[in-house]
Amino acid sequence: MTDIQRFTLANLALPTKTLFTGYLLTIGLGLLMAGAQIMLTHGMADGKPGLSVDDIVYSYHGNHDGPNASKLEAKLYGSMKDNAPPEVRLELLKWADKGAPANEWESSIKPKVDEYCAPCHANMPGLANVADKAVMDQMTKRDEGASFSTLTRVSHIHLFGIAFIFFFVGWIFTYATGFSSKMKALLIFTPFGFLMLDVVSWWLTKMNPGFAWLVIIGGFGYSVASTVMILSSLYQMWISPLRAADKP
């Protein structure tokens, strides 16, 4: 048996298969949770369930027109809609429409914010502390989408972190059989290519909403390629050896 034949997914030692399987299953679950998180955040940017081009535009370029033109309004119509009674949301929206007057903040608005918003926003990392009037003033301004500083921070985290995931998924997939070298190389590179497209398209959408489609294409592309490699690798480690053993 040559070295090339020995090191295939079907012929790996049981401990190695177990290691690879644990990693692939965990990454697969992580991809599902990432998709759910996108649906619950970006997917509600336009106030409607499901990810759409408008969601991408509002998230990165901002909502410059329409009734949800501030971040506060977009959140109260969207992902935060169920966290306060309708009458409280209406009062907050009317206050924002009037320009968020300071004389109403302490008397009527802040007590409601403290009751319905602050328990999460003041204690959970990553959430804006809307109990602070200065923060709320920013929330009531016209929504300009993600800031350039936010895009810079999220871009480098996204590129570094997810590239490591794709590296190990691709490395495991190098032991797969039944694919030509060119097809295997294409599948291994595809997630990296779509990841770069995804991140670059955030910046392009920030400057021009017409590029929002690229964000969806990028995320969908690396998800499909990763799924093919994960499922193929799991199949060849655990199912194809059993089928081969059943043959006369």
DSSP string, 40-74: HTGGGTTSSSS--HHHHIIIII---SSTT-BHHHH
pTM of the model: 0.70
Kindly give the parts of the chain with pLDDT less than 50: 1-5, 245-248
- Which residue is it, tokens 């990392």? 125
Computed over every residue of the chain, the mean pLDDT equals 84
What pLDDT score was predicted for residue 62? 74
Per-residue pLDDT tens over the stretch 15-37: 999 999 999 999 999 999 988 88
CA angle 209, 42, 119 (to 5 degrees): 135
Gap between the Cα atoms of 61 and 203, Å rounded: 9
What pLDDT score was predicted for residue 245? 45
Residues of the chain by 3-state class (helix, strand, coil), percent to 5: 75, 0, 25
What pLDDT score was predicted for residue 64? 55
Q: Among 97, 107, 196, 102, which Cα is nearest to 156's?
A: 196
